[in-house]
Amino acid sequence: MLLTRFSRITAIIAMAVLALYASTAQADVGDAAEDRLLTELSRPVASILEELLQKSSLFESVDGFASYYARKFEGRRTTSGHRYNPDKLTAAHQSLPLGTVVRVLNPSTREEVQVTVNDRCAPKSFHFIDLSRAAAKKIGLWGKGKIGVVIIPLMEDKLEDPA
């Protein structure tokens, strides 16, 4: 049943995208706009749908805080069994399933990063995520200790090996 609903949604989105492109293609546009349109039309519909699905979430987004791993954890095993690598886009969260891809947004700068949860952090009374060094640098957290963020879980088991 879920697959049928997904197929219907996919078909509706695909028809809407094609209708939008068809109406745009008929409009009188300049050469640069026409080239952009041709580039967009040549993109497979599947990749457009993948983008839409990646930006959607089955979970609710929450306001919380983010910090980053201390240097002393470099090379240590995470809960998932992988070794912590500060150059990978990974994170620790107290309750999200391991393997969940999460978008972390810094609302003050609008910078965001997608990370894979592969570790656990200590339970806190507020929503909290601990980011790798690379992820912290991407959202402007590096050197600040802790900042307020929006945590948006996207999907489970998307990435096979984050380490």
Q: Is 64 helix (H, G, I), strand (E, B) or coil?
A: strand
What is the enclosing helix (H) or strand (E) of 9? helix 2-26
Pair type for strands 128-131 and 62-68: parallel
**Once rounded to an integer, what is the mean pLDDT over residues 4-23?**
57
pTM above 0.75, yes or no: no
* Domain ranges, ordered by start, for the chain: 2-55, 62-155
The pLDDT, as a whole number, for residue 89 is: 94
The pLDDT, as a whole number, for residue 61 is: 77
Domain 62-155 coded CATH 3.90.1300.10: no
CB atoms within 10 A of CB 139: 22
Within 13 Å of residue 74, how many CA atoms lie on the same side as its CB?
Answer: 7
pLDDT in tens, 65-83: 999 887 888 888 998 899 9
